[in-house]
């Protein structure tokens, strides 16, 4: 850690322990971040802590889709799909057009597959109707048209394909930008700070005991209300409140692979595997993202990993629609896994409903888990609403109304930002267009702050690894403005080095030096 980072963390700990908060949010995944952001927008004094990095668990292990959820149509859950679509379109149009990008999806229909063309054609049409045809009508196309969009598509037995529109993102970067939005709105946040116990007064939870995982220091935070947003750890925290608390959720593991890709994909593939499951093959960060599995998980959430068996399964399922010469094991750059939090109860996890579970414990702590990345603002508002109406109104009566679409920092057209980054310098000294595009689509106008760093120190404009578009200015910016304190924070979540398989030992060492010097 640099002296500046150490001082900043110490000052944040002091602020956390010296202030009485309206709301302490435990867990800095996207749900905790969302509630913290909404609480600040409503005028509350809110703090948020995470045991690891912000979005270091499930929220950086998603399929990176901002989507309505085509497969929910199957359960007849039209309301959920329409709600997801509304949020998807708000994110893409008003909140984060710099970070959330449209993507067309092709559903190949093979002879003997689980769904016929008529059903899928009607399905994608209904799906698009539920978002008022904002991405054009879902429709059937011919095999030849499908191959024009996805050249790696397997064509034997292909009878037709259905197409529909959704969006995608880099989940880690959207999360860190949302943390920043929360901090801009007044939140106090600290990552690598684990809640080790809860404080209670007259049987009511009124704060938490914490341990800074980076330097071992211990401190406490007081708050009128405490929210448990610890995702897969939700029941662990509930048991801190009430050792006899019954399990409220069950977990299902979903693994993904990232593979090198050298041909352009104009669309993603959604391939039905059986009645409930689909396999995604998605062009993402110049690579191919494949997933996901769906299997009950009962181990320690911190230990969740993509196993060899997961890798075999993902490659085999991708092979239903992707030509196998494009699915070589040696092209895998990264494998990761996350845990879906599903409402407790019997039945197959793949068929379980993906909805948010909100519970209130004996000590008054509210716990929230489950739901979708896509609807994080909706969930944040819903939880805040619930908190504000608790008996006795612990948050008071005078919460401000939340504006409908507060943008994330850096809001701008990514095309405009990329063009400015490129044209701001003289011919001959111009930023590489690929780097400019990368910065514009991961930072929006904050890319101009990175450009300023490069003007002051041109070496920061160099690529961290020649094989990818991340530059040294991003690592410095991550350290100084995005709470990155460990090498993994930088390589896995602030930049795309790990997903591209470019976080070599030498690069990790240089980043470690950058995080400890200065």
Ligand X SMILES: Cc1cc2nc3c(=O)[nH]c(=O)nc-3n(C[C@H](O)[C@H](O)[C@H](O)COP(=O)(O)OP(=O)(O)OC[C@H]3O[C@@H](n4cnc5c(N)ncnc54)[C@H](O)[C@@H]3O)c2cc1C
Of 110 and 373, the one with the shorter C-beta distance to ligand X is: 373
- Position closest to ligand X via CB: 29
Of 55 and 124, the one with the shorter C-beta distance to ligand X is: 55
Angle of CA points 294, 297, 298, to nearest 5° = 170
- The beta strands (E) that lie in 46-157 are given as 46-49, 65-66, 101-110, 139-141
By CB under 6 A, name the binding residues for ligand X.
26-32, 49-52, 55-59, 61-65, 67, 194-195, 229-233, 254, 292, 338-340, 369, 371-374
Of 268 and 436, the one with the shorter C-beta distance to ligand X is: 268
DSSP string over 148-204: HH-TTB--TTEEEEEEEEEEE--HHHHHHHHHHHHHHTT-EEESSEEEEEEEEETTE
Q: How far is the CB of 3 from ligand X (least distance, A)?
A: 25
Q: How far is the CB of 453 from ligand X (least distance, A)?
A: 28
Of 237 and 417, the one with the shorter C-beta distance to ligand X is: 237
Q: How far is the CB of 372 from ligand X (least distance, A)?
A: 3
Q: How far is the CB of 351 from ligand X (least distance, A)?
A: 16
Q: Which residues, including other chains, have CB under 8 Å from residue 452's CB and lie 6 or more apart?
A: none
The answer to whether the beta carbons of residues 408 and 95 sit under 8 Å apart is yes
Determine the Cα–Cα distance for residues 361 and 268; give it in Å rounded to an integer: 42
Of 117 and 245, the one with the shorter C-beta distance to ligand X is: 245
The answer to whether the beta carbons of residues 162 and 149 sit under 8 Å apart is no
Q: How far is the CB of 442 from ligand X (least distance, A)?
A: 18
Q: Which residues, including other chains, have CB under 8 Å from residue 238's CB and lie 6 or more apart?
A: 228, 245, 248, 359, 361, 365, 367
Q: How far is the CB of 348 from ligand X (least distance, A)?
A: 16
Q: How far is the CB of 292 from ligand X (least distance, A)?
A: 5
Tell me which long-range contacts 490-495 makes (C-beta under 8 A, separation of at least 24).
490/515, 492/60, 492/172, 493/53, 493/54, 493/55, 493/56, 493/60, 493/172, 493/173, 493/175, 493/176, 494/172, 494/173, 494/176, 495/464, 495/470
Q: How far is the CB of 504 from ligand X (least distance, A)?
A: 26
Of 188 and 418, the one with the shorter C-beta distance to ligand X is: 188
Angle of CA points 490, 212, 43, to nearest 5° = 85
Class of residue 513 by CB neighbours under 10 A (exposed 0-12, middle 13-18, buried 19+) = exposed
């Amino acid at each position: 850690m640099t002296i500046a980072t150490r001082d900043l963390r110490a000052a944040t700990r002091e602020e956390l322990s010296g202030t009485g908060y309206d709301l302490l949010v435990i867990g800095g995944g996207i749900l905790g971040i969302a509630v913290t952001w909404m609480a600040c927008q409503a005028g509350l004094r809110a703090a948020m802590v995470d045991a690891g990095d912000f979005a270091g668990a499930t929220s950086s292990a998603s399929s990176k889709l901002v989507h309505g959820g085509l497969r929910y149509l199957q359960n007849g859950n039209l309301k959920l799909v329409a709600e997801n679509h509304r949020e998807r379109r708000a994110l893409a149009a008003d909140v984060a057009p710099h970070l959330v990008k449209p993507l067309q999806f092709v559903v190949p229909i093979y002879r003997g597959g689980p769904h016929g063309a008529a059903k899928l054609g009607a399905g994608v049409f209904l799906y698009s109707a539920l978002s008022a045809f904002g991405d054009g009508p879902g429709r059937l196309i011919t095999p030849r048209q499908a191959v024009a969009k996805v050249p790696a598509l397997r064509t034997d037995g292909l009878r037709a394909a259905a197409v529909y529109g959704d969006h995608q993102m880099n989940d880690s970067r959207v999360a860190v930008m949302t943390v920043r939005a929360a901090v801009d709105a007044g939140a106090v946040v600290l990552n690598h700070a684990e809640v080790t116990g809860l404080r209670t007064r007259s049987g009511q939870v009124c704060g938490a005991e914490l341990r800074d995982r980076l330097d071992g220091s211990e401190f406490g935070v007081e708050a009128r209300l405490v929210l448990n947003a610890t995702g897969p750890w939700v029941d662990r925290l509930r048991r801190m409140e009430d050792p006899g608390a019954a399990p409220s959720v069950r977990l299902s593991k979903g693994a993904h692979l990232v593979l090198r890709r050298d041909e352009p994909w104009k669309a993603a593939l959604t391939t039905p595997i059986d009645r409930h499951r689909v396999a995604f093959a998605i062009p993402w960060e110049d690579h191919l993202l494949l997933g996901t599995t769906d299997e009950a998980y009962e181990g320690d959430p911190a230990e969740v990993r993509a196993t060899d068996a997961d890798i075999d399964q993902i490659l085999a399922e991708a092979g239903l629609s992707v030509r196998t010469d494009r699915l070589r094991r040696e092209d895998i750059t990264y494998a990761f896994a996350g845990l879906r939090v599903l409402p407790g109860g019997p039945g197959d996890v793949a068929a379980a409903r993906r909805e948010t579970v909100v519970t209130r414990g004996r000590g008054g702590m509210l716990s929230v888990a489950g739901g979708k990345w896509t609807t994080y603002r909706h969930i944040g508002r819903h939880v805040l609403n619930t908190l504000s109406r608790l008996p006795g109104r612990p948050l008071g009566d005078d919460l401000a109304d939340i504006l409908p679409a507060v943008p994330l920092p850096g809001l701008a057209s990514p095309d405009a930002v990329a063009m400015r980054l490129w044209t701001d310098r003289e011919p001959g000294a111009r930023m590489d267009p690929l780097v400019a595009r990368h910065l514009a689509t991961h930072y929006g106008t904050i890319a101009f702050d990175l450009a300023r760093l490069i003007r002051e120190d041109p070496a920061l404009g160099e690529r961290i690894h020649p094989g990818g578009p991340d530059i040294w200015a991003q690592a410095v910016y991550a350290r100084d403005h995005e709470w990155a304190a460990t090498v993994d924070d930088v390589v896995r979540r602030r930049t795309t080095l790990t997903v591209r398989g470019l976080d070599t030992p030498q690069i990790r060492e240089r980043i470690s030096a950058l995080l400890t010097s200065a």
